[in-house]
Structure 1
Amino acid sequence: MGTTVFERQRPSDAVVDASLQDTAMSVFWLDDVERPTHPPLTGTMAADLVIVGGGYAGLWTAVRAKEREPERRVVLLEASRIAWAASGRNGGFCEASLTHGHENGLTRWPHEIDRLEELGLENLDGIAQTVERYRMDAEFERTGAIALAVEPHQVEWLRAEEGFLDRDAVQAEVHSPTFLAGAWDRDATALVHPAKLGLELARVAADLGVEIFEHSLVRSIEGDGSGPMTVVTRDGGRVIADDVALATNVFPSLLKRNRLMTVPVYDYVLMTEPLSDEQLASIGWSNRQGLADSANQFHYYRLTADNRILFGGYDAVYHFGGKVRAEYEDRMESHRKLASHFFTTFPQLEGLRFTHRWAGAIDSSSRFCAFFGTARRGRVAYATGFTGLGVGAARFAADVMLDELSGEKTERTELAMVREKPIPFPPEPVASIGVNLVRAAMDRADHNEGRRNLFLRTLDAVGMGFDS
């Protein structure tokens, strides 16, 4: 078993300790914004469409519904605060891919992959147009992203990609001793301030007439779809509506059929203090691309508007029972590992400090991308299982849900990717055993020139997997 560059070129514990000495356990993006408040739902009201969930999927559904039918009465119910969960704490990579990359889509839907990629680019263009149309302050930068090789075997993986950068070319873009090659896709990724994107979507939705309620946890949906349904909150609020869109993502589904379709996987993140001009010059990065390495356990990183570096990924942690709990976010083992890997990547930044560390739960599905469906005679639509791609794919999902609720067949609803469902995860304790076995196997593959063992190849063959 070999070693990775993060073991071969590990910084000293003193460097890691110093970088984390004054780090706040807090989400930088949410600390960086003013958050308008919306009232909780009280009493009973009527609506044409009620949306459950105030993250990207719910907010895009609200905006797109009003753009389609301005007179439609739309109500959005959020259990906590707008964009407080994954939508407010992700890395801000807004990707065109709807399928978690070309290879995953090609394997699962070979006859559709070309069109899916076209639809993904159209969706990203649509996000850019919406940002411009409504003058949304979301720090939207369409910089593209570089896939990086940090081990020799990964160079060959990237060589056939468009935008291939050899060692000299990738070092000219961003200087790190770990970068051996890269592939720069200039069109398929934008960077955003995630919390600002969520809050601006809420502003636009409200301006269009959507009624937003926070601290309104939905407990049940009453009715079989033969007539209006009633969405009931924990505190007794009720919305009587013809249609319901579920955008609860990582949180337990209101539909029993979906309870085993996703698992919550915790992803860990660090944010540095702003870099000085000298520090920036030492790494280059003048084109501000998003970056991600090519390992199974990969890192992603990007610059913010004030030239901090967000550095996240690698560890993807599942907790027994599949619960979403705040205490899972504070995992110093993962944050220390990220700090160590950061200074392996950028040793010239030794002395830089991290101001924030945090984590969030990803709604992971076994096919690595969102799945869709309806219930209650087609009057309830859902989309979930984004597996880390929700920043961009949530808008596409909103259109799918609205298409499905319309009852009309569209190109989107007829896609096999939309009609098919992933394989569910097994119940506990098998789920926990299986996820941890997969994590261990992926780690072994990263230490063995990327070679996937029989266990991983078998899971690949049957369409099961685990990814951050």
Structure 2
Amino acid sequence: MSSPAVDDALRHAASTPFWLDDPGRPDPEPALRGNSTAELVVVGGGFTGLWTALRAKERDPDRNVLLLEGAWTGWAASGRNGGFVSASLTHGRSNGELHLPDEVDRLDELGLANLDALGKSVAQYGWVCDYERTGGLSVATEPYQVDELRGQDGFLDTAAVRDQVNSPTYLAGVWTPEDTALVNPARLVWELKRTCLDLGVRIAENTPVRAIRSNRSGVSVQTTSGTVRARRVALATNVFPALLRRYRLHTIPVYDYALVTEPLSTAQLAEIGWQNRQGIDDLGNRFHYYRLTADDRILFGGFDAVYHYGRSLSSEHDQNPESFRTLASHFQQTFPQLEGLGFTHAWGGAIDTCTRFFPFFGTAHDGRVAHVAGYTGLGVGMTRFAADVLLDLLAADEQGPTELTELELVRRTPVPFPPEPLAWAGVEATTLSLAHADRHEGQRNVWLRALDRFGLGFDS
């Protein structure tokens, strides 16, 4: 899907994720040297791990908390995503109704409360992370999608939606002002890290964890440079192979891609409107997400979700020229009035997905180790909620069950993916079927209907 205009727009795009291309990035904390002890060890220095460490210290300021990160905080999904903070805990209301119909109303309430609490943390700690509660705008770009939106609260007809954001591709939309915030995700990671350190969390970066073992006295966390003996362990490795073997088939990594434009001029902003700065997504199965940054660039991502055979994770997958050209072409179709606008950054990264498309939880080693994974791109907001779930699970032997640990969302584990070559074949069949549905007014073929029947479908 290349053209001279697309190639020219991408000509000077850097491969570094836009958010991480920041001179304000903090230096990493020293690696662990030798053996250590802690009451709580958190494995993983992305959003989940940092929120877990922070919430642990907020609950008990005297708790000895050690966070171990294999590289540096925020280098992976937490620092390279789109920066959408969703209130949803289930990847959308309709997906929640599909998987947890008896619980979806309460989960919607808990999700909004979680987003409120995240915003309060930003204010309480004075985090400088470009946090904006703008709401979300879902747009129909095909006639059949208009009926999906009609009748919903916040419905906008063609004229009304284009008055919000002026794209000739928009046929209708729904604006939900309270359920979405925007943030600079890398800066949020770094502010979380700063506050954790201020509260007394010990952080060791460049300290990969190789194994978890337990005995009567506690849990042994084996790193490349020593062993940490802990009372409790929270695992927040997400897309990376699970340290608990029982969960290694429950997720697969898929690669998502994004572009960021040059800053828009005042005249260009006037051409497209967007005065309310909502985060936007469209209704295709292979959907796009896009938003304004603090300096009025447009981040435009999504559509492709690429799986590599064997659950392959590699920095080589972060660059995908074909996906970048596709996104650039779609951007130019969405905003033809921005002709000539170039892209300054083009990057990708791995997302951990599971068969229900929102996170699942588990415990091991007699409840002394808790695990979460499967965010499927939902991690910026959901990770704070997940941190509270992990801490409640780890305290269950002393404090008993809580509302969070009794949720079906927490107690139920999704169906695992099959081993290869079945996983690759299944992903390929699903990708082709979703593309076919988008070309045929959303009609789901036999394969997609079979997935729906067995509770493996996705509807967001």
1:461 deviation in Å?
A: 1.6
- Say yes or no: does 1:363 pair with 2:334: no
Aligned equivalent of 1:434, options 416, 426, 430: 426
1:18 deviation in Å?
A: 1.0
Partner of 2:410: 418
- Say yes or no: does 1:62 pair with 2:26: no
- Say yes or no: does 1:52 pair with 2:38: no
For 1:369-448, list aligned pairs within 5 A: 369-407=358-396, 408-448=400-440
1:180 and 1:227 map into 2 onto residues whose CA distance is 62
Partner of 1:243: 232
Partner of 1:3: none
Q: Decide which moves more: 158-167 or 128-137.
A: 158-167
Q: Secondary structure at the match of 2:203?
A: strand
Partner of 2:223: 233
Partner of 2:258: 269
Deviation track 1:83-138 (CA, whole Å, cap 9, x = no partner) reads 11000000000000000100111121111111000000000001000000000111
Deviation track 1:120-176 (CA, whole Å, cap 9, x = no partner) reads 000000100000000011110000010110000111111132111110110000000
Partner of 2:13: 23
1:431 and 1:178 map into 2 onto residues whose CA distance is 35
Partner of 1:159: 150
Write the letter of the residue equivalent to 2:76. A
1:145 and 1:193 map into 2 onto residues whose CA distance is 16
1:313 and 1:108 map into 2 onto residues whose CA distance is 24
Q: Secondary structure at the match of 1:363?
A: strand
Deviation track 1:242-277 (CA, whole Å, cap 9, x = no partner) reads 000000000000000010000000000000010000
CA RMSD of aligned residues (A): 1.2
Q: What percentage of residue pairs aligned between the two structures are identical? A: 57
The answer as to whether partners of 1:250 and 1:262 remain within 8 angstroms in 2 is yes
- Residues 466/162 of structure 1: CA separation in 2 closer, same or farther (3 Å cut): closer
- Say yes or no: does 1:173 pair with 2:134: no
Partner of 1:4: none
Partner of 2:4: 14
Deviation track 1:222-242 (CA, whole Å, cap 9, x = no partner) reads 214x321111112x2221100
For 1:310-349, list aligned pairs within 5 A: 310-349=299-338
The answer as to whether partners of 1:63 and 1:205 remain within 8 angstroms in 2 is yes
Aligned length: 456
Q: Secondary structure at the match of 1:219?
A: strand
Give the TM-score of the pair, scaled to structure 1.
0.96
Aligned equivalent of 1:118, options 109, 113, 124: 109
Gaps of 5+ in 1: 1-9
1:148 and 1:237 map into 2 onto residues whose CA distance is 52
Aligned equivalent of 1:354, options 336, 343, 346: 343
1:466 deviation in Å?
A: 6.5
The answer as to whether partners of 2:31 and 2:207 remain within 8 angstroms in 1 is yes
1:27 and 1:373 map into 2 onto residues whose CA distance is 32
Aligned equivalent of 2:33, options 42, 64, 88: 42
Give the TM-score of the pair, scaled to structure 2.
0.98
The answer as to whether partners of 1:364 and 1:466 remain within 8 angstroms in 2 is no
Partner of 1:282: 271
1:162 and 1:318 map into 2 onto residues whose CA distance is 36
